[in-house]
Structure formats: C-alpha cells, structure tokens
Amino acid sequence: MSTTLRYLILSDIHANIDALDAVLEAAADEWDRVVVLGDLVGYGAEPNAVIDRVLELAPVAIIRGNHDKAACGLDTGENFNQVARYAAAWTQEQLTPEHRDFLRDLPHGPTEIDERLEICHGAPFDEDHYIFDAVDAQHALEAATRPVCVFGHTHLPVIFSAVGAQLMADVPDDDLPSLTLQAEARYLINPGSVGQPRDGDPRAAFALYLTDGVMIFRRVEYNVSEAQRRISAAGLPQALANRLAIGR
C-alpha cells in the first residue's frame, strides 16, 4: 500500500502575515509537508513575522525569490521599480540579523521534490525569469527535469500542459479547482501568490500537491484591510496597500 503525501505549496507571500495566516488556517489538517517557492518578503509590512511563521512550518524545501535577494543585500534591486526598491530597502532595515542571514542562505531553485515534482521561483533555467507566455513556457519545459515544475514570480495562477508538441494554457479558478496529473503530460504550474495576488482576485492563492497525482488550487479570503493598515503604519508606499484590495 502506498501512502499519499500532501504538499502545501506557498509562493510569493511578500511579508503579508494576514494572508499567510488565513491560508494556514484554511489548509490546516490538509497537508503533511510544506514547500515554499520564494519571495517571503518585499512589499508587505511583516517580513520578520512571515519568516518566523515559515520557519515554524519547517518546510522540506524552500528557495529564494528576487525580493528575498534584494532584502538581504544579495541583489541591489536596481532592476526593481521605485516602489519595489523602496520596499526592499525598508525590509532590509527591518530584518533581524538572523532573518537577514536566513534569507542570504536560501538556495536558488530549481529544487527537486520527488520523482514527479520540482520547484523554482521564476523559471527552471533562470530563477529571475518571468514565465508569461507559451514561448517562456516551452523554454521552461525543456529545462525542467521533472514532469511537473511549479513556479511563482508572476503572481498569476496558470497551468501550462504539454502532450508531445501540443502546449495548452489554462487558468485554475472556481471552474477548474483541481487538476489530475496525466502520466503522458508535462506541466508548468503557478499556484498564484499568497500575499500579493495580481490576477484581479484579491484572495490569497495557494496549492496542494497530492503525490497520487492531483494538484488542488485554492483561494481564501483574508483580512485585507488589516494588511493595508500595517503597510500604511509602516510608512510603505500607499500603492502597495491599494493593490491588495483589487488583487493587481
């Protein structure tokens, strides 16, 4: 008898403790292991609280994102826009020395989770590359070493699936809440962002991967106004608070 393992997949939390806690409450008792796809910090007002919470989860795999690199000084953030750069500098000041070291020591992806699954932040060939379209997806599928590659970075939930030369793109939503992984297909999957959704749906996004071959996509409401209040109180740019309400 084989035992199904259940992985909770968290990406792009972005120092949003309200969203993270809502996800953990909604997914309580539904997972055995946690994997984190990077961008724990940046944009949001609670970088230390988010890192502490993630550490409590004892993830079996965790990789860095571009904002993690900027917040711990591994990257200058010079290719960030003004708001993101301001937030990165603010985050760098807030981080405890232990948390700065923790971010600095995070490995880059891709990381293999099991025979079927690997994770990366941007793309398997470049942790900072954004996978938006079929061209990016094709390139990523060629670089992937597992049939299912789960990525973040764009904050946009998507399922690219390839059977032979045929590539399809689907958006997981209430009409497509889960995916049965086909043995003959290869996949590139973005679960969406926990802490700063950008698909027009302000609810926190996450996924569950069941090792018997199912990916489940979830959205959960959280206290957006509290996350906004924290951003305002921290003196972070108001645009970062505003966008949470519209999920953009």
Which range, of 11-19, 25-33, 78-86, 106-114, touches Zn ion by CB under 5 A?
A: 11-19
- Distance in Å, CB of 155 to Zn ion, minimum: 6
Binding of Zn ion at residue 199 (CB under 5 A)?
Answer: no
Q: Which C-beta is closer to Zn ion: that of 12 or that of 46?
A: 12
Write out the two tokens for 143. 């670089």
- Exactly one of 12, 46, 127, 136 binds Zn ion (CB under 5 A); which one? 12
Q: Which C-beta is closer to Zn ion: that of 164 or that of 200?
A: 200
Which range, of 36-44, 161-169, 199-207, 226-234, touches Zn ion by CB under 5 A?
A: 36-44
- Distance in Å, CB of 156 to Zn ion, minimum: 11
- Distance in Å, CB of 79 to Zn ion, minimum: 14
Which range, of 6-14, 69-77, 107-115, 143-151, touches Zn ion by CB under 5 A?
A: 6-14
Residue nearest to Zn ion (CB): 39
Binding of Zn ion at residue 39 (CB under 5 A)?
Answer: yes
Which range, of 31-39, 78-86, 106-114, 156-164, touches Zn ion by CB under 5 A?
A: 31-39
Beta bridge partners of 22: none
Alpha-carbon span 68 to 53, nearest angstrom: 16
- Distance in Å, CB of 139 to Zn ion, minimum: 20
- Distance in Å, CB of 14 to Zn ion, minimum: 6
Binding of Zn ion at residue 46 (CB under 5 A)?
Answer: no
Which range, of 39-47, 104-112, 123-131, 179-187, touches Zn ion by CB under 5 A?
A: 39-47
Cβ contact 195:232 at 8 Å: no
- Distance in Å, CB of 153 to Zn ion, minimum: 6
- Distance in Å, CB of 60 to Zn ion, minimum: 21
With contacts defined by CB under 5 A, how many residues of the chain interact with Zn ion?
2
Cβ contact 155:195 at 8 Å: no
Nearest in space to 44 (alpha carbons), one of 21, 74, 76: 21
25 Cβ contact list (under 8 Å, min separation 6): none
User: Which chain residues interact with Zn ion by CB under 5 A?
Assistant: 12, 39
